[in-house]
Amino acid sequence: MAWNDEGTVFEFRMEEGGSERIDKLLSLRLSDFSRSYLQKLIREGAVLVNQKTVKANHKVNPGDWVRVTVPEPEQPDICPEKIPLDILYEDEEVLVVNKPKGMVVHPAPGHYSGTLVNAVMHHCQGKLSGINGVTRPGIVHRIDRDTTGSLVICKSDRAHQSLAEQLKEHSITRRYRAVVLGVIEGEGGTISAPIGRHPADRKKMSTLGGKKHAVTHYTVLERFYNDSLPAVRRCVFGGSKGGNTRGYTYVECTLETGRTHQIRVHMSSIGHPILGDEVYGPAKCPFSLTGQTLHAKTLGFLHPVTGAYMEFDAPLPDYFEELLCTLRN
């Protein structure tokens, strides 16, 4: 990788093996960018194979030289906003924050203000990595709007590249806390089920016909039985997988991979959807919650410059603590 006046340049030689479509090859090599964005670069002539422009379906052969020029991001028209941040750590390369419930990570249709990006643009005064485009400066991974907890923001492109590689290698520590419906027997387990778009509802993810490898490890921390709860608080959801209705389970989930809605989809797939999750669980909730009870508690990674392992712990939000207190009482 190098830089010039036109932007960031990625250059590599096609390794031994069979031929490969250039757009597919780039989506594997440059996983930080979407395939549609890479196809756009191909159409615009920013991708050269052996110093010649090509089409998206061009087959690259062993020995071919590939050069990709990613233009510098345009000045975003997203306004910095003075929104308070719960900062867990900050230096010249990275910023680790404890994201609150209800905050969208980056601007998207219907959410162009009040996002985490708006907040960090103000806090960092524009010093953010530009690899992920003008609407997602500094963003290398995401958590859902109603999921709380640890999130790392990249201030430089080199930090972004390092963190993206660690995510790709599944070497980043990501441990979540959740309360799920039903009582889980045993100490825990592993869910290994590919995830993809739901075949009938494109807004949802599913393990039905999923193509992206996904693995979640879960450990039981506490069980709460219906017999000790008021009737209006009891779990009455059986689930399509036969999850029992005897109460709730407090679990820790560790991500081996990081697919969209992974923990929510995986826990629902074994009959134990997350409490409050109206997308992958029942529409009615016996508690006054806003979205799923899911918190990204622990985040650990190698510092992009020093290489030292760093781990951060985001305390449970007040609503989560109050819920646990209610269940324990």
* Residues belonging to the active site: 144
> Position of tokens 């052969």?
61
The amino acid at residue 121 is: M
Q: Which residues are registered as beta bridge partners of 170? A: none
Contact by Cβ (8 Å): 122, 91? no
- Burial of 142: CB neighbours in 10 Å, binned 0-12, 13-18, 19+: middle
Alpha carbons 274 and 271: distance in angstroms, whole number: 10
CB within 8 A of 289, min separation 6: which ones? 275, 276, 319, 323
Contact by Cβ (8 Å): 28, 10? no
Alpha carbons 48 and 11: distance in angstroms, whole number: 9
How many beta carbons lie within 10 A of that of residue 85, not counting itself?
19
Q: Where are the beta strands (DSSP E) in 73-162?
A: 87-90, 94-99, 148-154
Q: Which stretch of DSSP H or E encloses residue 215?
A: strand 215-225
